[in-house]
Amino acid sequence: MNQTTQEPAVRTVVKPHMSASPHLRNRLTTGKVMGQVLLSLLPAAVVGVVVNGFHAFLVIAVCMLSAVAAETLFCLAVRRPNTAKDGSAAVTGLLLALCLPASVPLYVPVLGGVFAILVVKCLFGGLGKNFMNPALAARCFLLISFGSVMTRFTVDGVSCATPLADLTAGRSVDILSAFLGVSNDVIGGSVAGMLVGGIYLWLVGGITLHIPLSVLVSFTVFVGLFGGHGFDPAYLAAHLCSGGIVMGAVFMATDPVTSPTNAFGHLIYGTIIGVLSGIFRVYGSATDSVSYAIITANLLVPVIDEFGIPLPYGLRSGAQEGKKPGPVVPKEAVILGVITLVAGICLSGVYAVTKEPIARQQLAASLASYQEVCPGADKIAYDEKLSAAVEALDGKVYGSDFGKAYINEAVVGTAGGEVVGYVVSVTSGDGVEGDITLSVGLSADGTVTGIAFTELNETPGMGSLCGEPAFKDQFLGVKTDWFVLSGSGTVVEGTDEATGTADSAQSIPITTVSTAAIDGVTGATKSSRAVVNAINAALDFFRSYQKGGM
């Protein structure tokens, strides 16, 4: 009898494809979403180009092209479909460009775009898998690697301080100019443009208001509580319109990939960013650290999601017995949180311990520089009338003929109880590499007795030579109403006479009766002019004080 052997049927098991959260379902495609984001960034970009000129347009174009090219080449190298077509790389490039000063060399946006796409995005798996915002990570990379060019801001080719730098230094800020973005800042510095774009993005459903509002409200409350000016509306408005807080709140923090996935998580996440931004703004040494606040909060998103998302019944052990399932925090998140907390406590402790000694050292350094420029004095002291005259200036730019010059303070030098001279500390915001601060010593009759720099970060071998005796000793022993940089030209107000080129001419009031020519440092005309303007501001302040016109 024949036996038939029947083979068992082969069953094909199809394993479900699992991917990391969030799992969002919507008719919108990635390309459409990115197109909306590009449109929302257009107002701020247009303002940035109009205000800063053609070089700003080149920075934007180069940054976007480098980001798209980096993703395209990476996809070709690893034989993946070209994901640059979805527009996400272009958005990253534009966001990064709007965070850059308009005057940066073009190699900076190229490196930034490549770093954002290749290192932060592609090497972690591509769109949806990066753990922090690529544009902000690239900006932080550029700030660390190219600090000088990343903090250099110019208007019409002249180096200037940003509104936030003025605010940090205690100077007044033109809130309207900062809001509109017509003052010197990053390319995307127009708060008005950012708000217009943010409203558009909200109307089309690209973002919700939870994150932007929680960031801005918590930041404003923190600055009001700890900024030293209370809830003064002008002071708070100046902080909101300066720096990158609005850009960060509206466009960076709302990145769906690196932000929480529910409304409650959005509020917690936004509050963390706002508070961290306030801490960095009020107590930090960097001018603006919103970028660092956001990428720090990006690292906390897994923990926020773990606690903020409702978990299905039965997902956790013990749920079957009727116990309420609780969130399980990843071990790595706990370790990272502990390290961050310990580091923050240590840094805060170091700051608290060293704050007063540093302040004493700075005061001692200032007094030492004052003593140096007032050699006939055996004692340097503050005078109530002089201090009141400085305070009356309210931290504003001094006059209209000295560029961005600010009078910091003025002291009296005495010997045997008799006044032998004065010292005026003045800062010029027109330096190529930032502020230039110097102490100007003057005798009772207005003769310059000394020049000492307390802040000079100009280009080594060029602008830094302004601190050398060959340049600064030209002022010593000179009694004049006005110093003029040789070759820069002079214009006497009220007359039609002028010498030199019009774009570099110095304006001298018609009441001036004497001038003294100063040879500038070769190749450092801007730095030389900044120093001359600062000294002229000190002379004018001294004359006004002597005449009782302060």
Give the model confidence (pLDDT) of 482-507 as tens digits. 898 876 544 444 333 333 333 444 55
Q: 277 with 239: CB under 8 angstroms? A: no
What share of the chain in percent tops pLDDT 90?
22
If you average pLDDT over each of 270-279, 369-378, 458-467, 515-524, which comes out highest?
270-279
Q: What is the pLDDT of residue 328?
A: 55
Closest of 366, 360, 361, 412 to residue 387, by C-alpha: 412
3 pLDDT tier (thresholds 50, 70, 90): low
Alpha carbons 211 and 268: distance in angstroms, whole number: 9
The stretches of 115-232 forming alpha helices (DSSP H) are 134-145, 147-150, 163-168, 175-180, 191-203, 210-226
Q: How many CB atoms lie within 10 A of CB 131?
A: 15
Place of tokens 């100046």: 238
pLDDT tens-digit profile of 135-190? 988 998 888 888 767 766 554 444 455 666 666 656 667 788 888 888 767 888 88
- Domains of the chain are 30-310 (1.10.3430), 372-546 (no CATH)
How many of the other CB atoms lie within 10 Å of CB of 161?
25
Mean pLDDT calculated for residue range 321-343: 58
Listed residue (451, 432, 449, 477) closest to 534, CA to CA: 451
Q: What is the pLDDT of residue 493?
A: 42
Q: What mean pLDDT comes out for the span 224-232?
A: 85
Output the pLDDT for position 39: 93
pTM score above 0.85: no
Per mean pLDDT, which range of 165-169, 292-296, 397-401, 450-454 is the poorest?
Answer: 165-169
**Residue 254 or residue 361, greater confidence:** 254
Model pLDDT for residues 69-82, shown as the tens digit of each residue: 999 999 899 888 88
Give the model's pLDDT for residue 500.
38
Q: What is the mean pLDDT of the chain?
A: 79
Q: How far is CA 351 from the centre of its chain?
A: 21
Cross-strand partners of 186: 101
Sign, CA dihedral 284-94-133-115, equals negative
pLDDT of 256 above 90: no
What pLDDT does 22 receive? 54
The string of pLDDT tens digits covering residues 336-382 is 566 656 665 665 566 556 666 666 666 666 666 687 888 878 888 88
